[in-house]
Amino acid sequence: MNEIKECEHFQGADRFFDTCKQLRGKKVGIIGHTQIDGDAVGAQVALFEILKREGCEAFLIETEPGIPEHLEPLYGKYKTYQPQQVQVDEWCVVDCSQASRCGDFFETIRPFLLIDHHISGSPFAVHNFIHPEAAAACEILADYLYQLQYPLSITMANALYAGLIMDTGNYCYNSTRASTLRLGAYLIDQGVQAHNVASWVYNNEPRKKFLLLERFFHSWKFYAEGKICFGFLHDEDYEATGTDMADVEGFVNYPRSLHGVRIAGLVQELAGLIKVSLRSDEPALRLDQVIQPFHGGGHVCAVAFKTTDVLESFWDDLINALQERLKVVEEGVLLYES
Ligand SMILES: [Mn+2]
């Protein structure tokens, strides 16, 4: 019988810890992307503990005011701050492809350190640790910590584990590699109780989210003989249910799970801003490329863009681009070796 292989490690572990050491004695803010998710929180918490142990005064920063209830337990006993509440010497950014995704106040700031895994990501910090092959920012950090046999607190291990399961759709997305699962096992070895973490992040939904989901289900529209399915949420849906854009996490996976759908989309319209999210199970479709003319980014199978333009001004172009991509792939043109 073959032995279980070692993890395929990410490069840069030593450089990463050297970079953290350079922050000794400084006040450091740690921030993730807007519409914060489990991966951003997990990476924030892990980096926070590393920097504290390296002698920094570190602060966990809320990218937008408030933390979604289901992510609160991941912070353990740690307090979070809004950007204007703290004065810091340096910034660290996690799980973020571009500085503007950290909020408006961040546009003129050059962070000291960036950890990211978006294929569309840019090295906008002084020290960048970007691995698009990683399923999660938490996977990069968990691997770096493993490589150096760095002691993990239970808060850190739980947070990293949450990032792994949430960014891989519970190890279902194409980003899931054998090493991803090995790191998950490593975190369980460090004391993570998988069912507890899953219960915090999945079985903790507010009722208003389901009222919004009900509206979402009624909004679906199909294109390309049912291969493309979009759901739509507008200002009135959020108003009627007391929700906001943070409450739609996971919605796009419903049309994605429908038989025959190859590209699923969610259009959110709130206060003059439109956000379009797209998902697929087929890396060959290269959604990250299709989305480029719309100034979006993300991963091969999961992308998004935001615009203040009206929907009508780009809708036909978007649907045409998606239909064209389906056609090209159906004709056997290989865009991506999966
Ligand atoms: Mn992520």
E strand or H helix that includes residue 28: strand 27-31
Q: Which two tokens stand for residue 260?
A: 């025959």
Question: How far, in Å, from the CA of 166 to the mean position of ligand 1?
Answer: 9
For residue 189, the CA-to-ligand 1 centroid distance in Å is 23
Tell me how far apart the alpha carbons of residues 302 and 335 are, in angstroms, rounded to a whole number.
Answer: 16
Residue where a domain stops, chosen among 148, 170, 202: 202
Tell me how far the alpha carbon of residue 240 lies from the centroid of ligand 1, in angstroms.
30
pLDDT in tens, 3-52: 777 778 999 999 999 999 999 999 999 999 988 999 999 999 999 999 99
Q: Total domain count for the chain?
A: 2
CA of 165 to the centre of ligand 1 (A): 11
Structure tokens at 161: 């584990």
Distance 312 CA to ligand 1 centre (A): 30
Residues 317 and 288 in one domain: yes
In a domain, 336, yes or no: no
Inside any domain, residue 3: no
- Output the six-digit token pair for 211: 């009222």
Same domain, residue pair 64 and 171: yes
DSSP assignments along 71-103, one per residue: GGGGGTT--EE-GGG---SEEEEES-SSGGGG-
CA of 137 to the centre of ligand 1 (A): 5
Residue 150: give its domain's CATH number. Answer: 3.90.1640.10
pLDDT confidence band for 336 (50 / 70 / 90): low
pLDDT tens track for 193-216: 999 999 999 998 999 999 999 999
User: Residue 2: is its pLDDT beyond 80?
Assistant: no
Residue 42 CA, ligand 1 centroid: distance in Å: 10
Domain limit, last residue, from 158, 180, 202: 202
Residues 166-188: tens digit of each pLDDT: 999 999 999 999 999 999 999 99
Q: How high is the pLDDT of residue 95?
A: 97
Compute the average pLDDT of residues 121-149: 96
Give yes or no: residues 172 and 259 share one domain.
no
Residue 337 counted as domain residue: no
Does 254 share its domain with 303?
A: yes
When pLDDT is averaged across residues 253-259 and rounded to a whole number, the result is 97
Residues 23 and 156 in one domain: yes
Across residues 67-93, what is the average pLDDT? 95
In angstroms, what is the span from residue 279 Cα to ligand 1's centroid? 14
Task: Summarize the confidence of residues 129-151 as an average pLDDT.
Answer: 97
Predicted pLDDT at 337:
54
Residue 235 lies in a domain: yes
Domain annotation covers residue 149: yes
pLDDT at 66 over 60: yes
Q: How far is the CA of 190 from the centre of ligand 1 (A)?
A: 22
Structural domain of residue 213, as residue ranges? 207-330
Under the banding of pLDDT at 50, 70 and 90, the label for residue 56 is very high
Confidence at 276, pLDDT banded by 50, 70, 90: very high
CA distance 260 to 280: 12
pLDDT > 60? residue 265: yes
**Do 214 and 190 fall within a single domain?**
no
Same domain, 27 and 162: yes
Domain co-membership, 260 together with 301: yes
Residue 264 has pLDDT above 90, yes or no: yes
Please name every residue paired with 221 in a beta bridge, in sequence order, or none if there are none.
230
Do 310 and 180 lie in a common domain? Answer: no
Tokens coding 11: 């490069």
Residue after which a domain boundary falls, among 182, 202, 222: 202
Whether residue 191 sits in one domain with residue 224: no
Span from the CA of 167 to the centroid of ligand 1 (angstroms): 6
**Residue 283 within a domain:** yes
Residue 8: its pLDDT value, please?
Answer: 83
Name the percent of the chain lying above pLDDT 90: 84
Buried b (16+ CB within 10 A) or exposed e, 105-141: ebeebebbbbbbbbbbbeebbebbbbbeebbbbbbbb
Residues 45 and 167 in one domain: yes
Q: How confident is the model at residue 107 (pLDDT cuts 50, 70, 90)?
A: confident
* pLDDT value, residue 5: 77
How much is the mean pLDDT over the chain? 94
- For residue 248, report the distance from its CA to the centre of ligand 1, in Å: 16
Beta bridge partners of 27: 57
At 122, is the secondary structure helix, strand, or coil? coil
- Residue 51 covered by a domain: yes
Identify the CATH number of the domain in which residue 310 sits: 3.10.310.30
- The DSSP annotation for 152-207 comes to PPHHHHHHHHHHHHHHTTTTTSTT--HHHHHHHHHHHHTT--HHHHHHHHHS---H
166 shares its domain with 312:
no
Question: What pLDDT score was predicted for residue 101?
Answer: 85
Predicted pLDDT at 308: 96
